[in-house]
């Protein structure tokens, strides 16, 4: 992590601490009074300024709570970098109370289908929205097309904005990240469209079929040439581990190979021992999500928390005892570096 990143992180966490200090001193009382009476005064500006001090890309909103009466949400609108910040904000906060709970992403609000949104120059009754859904069971993702009669009069940007908001309210922001591969705002109604209210049931059914990630083995190379074998956790979702934002590629050379470039029995035993010992040493500080093996080299893909120096140090200290090992750390919230096989 560069010195500039450390300064930014310190500034962000100082802003998080300032927010929760204000909340404990006066914010909880003020916002409770506001949601009770409907008289907010300049409170939205105050909260907005404090959230923007954490990061300008963050937004906030209140809503009906799940376990508490009300909910205060700070959201990064699906941006993995901002989701990390929102999660750190939430974890730094107090425990829920009967009045308030805190979330780092928009939660499901199916009642929003009864709401009419005001979009510049147009009113959008969300209850008229339709969706088309194509499931990719191999990757446990859904392609969605959203249609609304009002889209005829909206610009592409506003169509997309309404579509994303609708899915956030129907599924919750995190489940959109988990299960929705693409969101397209359709200019005409798809022939296979369904009421938008059907979407949560479709996605929940797919989620139940993929509730427990498992390891898959696949060939990644092409003929001619050495075999390339990938073992990957699937589905591997960064949103299930939002603070694990540091990718570490551990490149291990193995000298004993078969004719196809894969490790022989002794080399494979050594590689498995390294993997198991390192994973055990890391414990809950990190996780292995994939391996690539080809032509005398295996790459182990780990993720740890960039703010937890012990995770990175554990990897560096452990691998430093092994010959022919190269370690590369890369900031990667969103796990983009493993998209091709996870």
All residue ranges of the chain with pLDDT < 50 are none
Q: pLDDT tens digit string along 238-262?
A: 999 999 999 999 999 988 788 888 8
What pLDDT score does 3 carry?
55
What's the confidence (pLDDT) of residue 222? 58
List, as one string, the DSSP characters of 44-106: HHHHHHHHHHH-TT-EEEEEE-SSSSEEEEEE-TT-HHHHHHHHHHHHHSPPP-SSEEEESSP
Which string of b and e fits 63-80 if b means at least 16 CB within 10 Å?
Answer: bebeeeebbbbbbbbbbb
Q: Domain ranges in the chain?
A: 3-103, 110-209, 214-338
Per-residue confidence (pLDDT) for residue 341, from 0 to 100? 79
CB of 30 within 8 A of CB of 62? no
Measured distance CA(303)–CA(298) in Å, rounded: 17
Please tell me the distance from the alpha carbon of residue 181 to that of residue 66, in angstroms, as a whole number: 27
Query: Sign of the C-alpha dihedral, residues 7, 9, 12, 17?
Result: negative
Q: Which pLDDT score, from 0 to 100, does residue 212 have?
A: 87
Q: Scanning the structure block, which residue is given the tokens 């097309």?
A: 145
Write the pLDDT tens digit of every residue in 19-49. Answer: 999 999 999 999 999 999 989 999 999 999 9
How does pLDDT run across 264-289, given as a tens digit for each residue?
999 999 999 999 999 999 999 999 99
Q: Domain 214-338 carries which CATH code?
A: 3.30.70
Question: What are the beta bridge partners of residue 142?
Answer: 135, 180
């Amino acid at each position: 992590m560069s010195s500039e990143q450390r300064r930014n992180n310190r500034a962000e966490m100082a802003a998080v601490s300032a927010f929760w200090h204000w909340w404990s001193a006066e914010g909880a009382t003020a916002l409770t009074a506001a949601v009770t009476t409907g008289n907010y005064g300049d409170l939205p500006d105050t909260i907005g300024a404090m959230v923007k001090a954490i990061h300008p890309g963050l937004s906030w909103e209140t809503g009906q709570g799940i376990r508490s009466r009300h909910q205060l949400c700070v959201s990064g609108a699906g941006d993995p970098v901002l989701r990390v910040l929102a999660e750190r904000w939430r974890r730094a906060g107090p425990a829920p109370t009967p009045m308030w709970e805190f979330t780092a992403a928009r939660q499901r609000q199916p009642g929003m289908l009864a709401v009419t949104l005001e979009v510049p120059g147009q009113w959008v009754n969300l209850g008229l929205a339709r969706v088309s859904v194509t499931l990719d069971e191999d990757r446990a993702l859904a392609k969605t097309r959203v249609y609304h009669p009002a889209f005829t009069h909206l610009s592409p940007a506003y169509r997309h904005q309404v579509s994303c908001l609708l899915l956030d309210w129907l599924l919750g922001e995190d489940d959109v990240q988990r299960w929705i591969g693409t969101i397209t705002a359709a200019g005409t109604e798809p022939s296979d469209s369904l009421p938008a209210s059907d979407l949560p049931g479709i996605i929940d059914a797919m989620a139940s079929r993929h509730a427990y990630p498992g390891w898959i083995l696949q060939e990644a190379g092409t003929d001619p040439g050495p075999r390339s074998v990938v073992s990957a956790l699937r589905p591997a979702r960064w949103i299930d581990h939002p603070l694990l934002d540091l990718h570490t590629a551990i490149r291990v050379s193995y000298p004993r190979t078969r004719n196809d470039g894969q490790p022989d029995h002794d080399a494979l035993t050594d590689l498995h021992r390294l993997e198991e010992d390192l994973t055990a040493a890391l414990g809950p500080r990190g996780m292995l999500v994939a391996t690539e093996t080809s032509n005398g080299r295996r790459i182990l893909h780990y993720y740890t928390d960039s703010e937890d120096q012990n995770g990175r140090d554990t990897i560096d200290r452990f691998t430093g005892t092994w010959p022919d090992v190269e370690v590369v750390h890369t900031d990667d919230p969103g796990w983009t570096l493993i998209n091709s096989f996870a």
